[in-house]
A and B are shown apart, each in its own frame.
Chain A
Amino acid sequence: MQVKVLFFGDAADAAGTRESPIETADEATAGAAMSALIEKHPALARHRLLFAVNEEYADAATPLADGDTLAVFTPVSGG
Chain B
Amino acid sequence: MDHVELTTDPIDIGAAARRFVSDECGATVTLDGYVRRYTRGRETEYLVYEAYEPMALKEMEKLIERAKAEFEISHVGIVHRLGKLEIGETSVVISVAAPHRRAAFAACEWLIKELKRTVPIWKKEVYAGGEEWIEGETPEPR
Genuine A/B complex: yes
Chain B's interface size range is 20 to 34
Chain B residues near A76: list those with CB within 8 A: 116-122, 136, 141
A71 touches B52 (CB 8 A): yes
Q: How far, in Å, is B95 (CB) from chain A's closest CB? A: 15
The number of residue pairs between A and B whose CB atoms lie closer than 8 Å in the complex comes to 82
Chain B, Cβ-Cβ closest to A47: B135
Q: Mark B114-142, 1 if CB is under 8 A from A, else 0.
A: 01111111111000000001111111011
B142 touches A10 (CB 8 A): no
Q: How far, in Å, is B79 (CB) from chain A's closest CB? A: 12
In the assembled complex, B74 has its CB within 8 A of some CB on chain A: no
Interface-facing stretch out of A19-27, A49-57, A60-68? A49-57
A78 touches B52 (CB 8 A): no
A10 touches B119 (CB 8 A): no
Instruction: Tell me the bound Cα distance from A48 to B138 in angstroms.
Output: 11
Give the one of A8, A13, A48 with max B CB within 10 A.
A8
With beta carbons under 8 angstroms apart, the residue of A8, A9, A57, A77 that contacts B141 is: A57
Chain B, Cβ-Cβ closest to A12: B50
Q: Mark B38-79, 1 if CB is under 8 A from A, else 0.
A: 000000000001111011101000000000000000000000
Chain A residues near B33: list those with CB within 8 A: 79
Q: How far, in Å, is A48 (CB) from chain B's closest CB? A: 6
Give the one of B118, B121, B122 with max A CB within 10 A.
B122
Which A23-57 residues sit within 8 Å CB-CB of chain B?
Answer: 48, 50, 52, 55-57
B55 touches A77 (CB 8 A): no
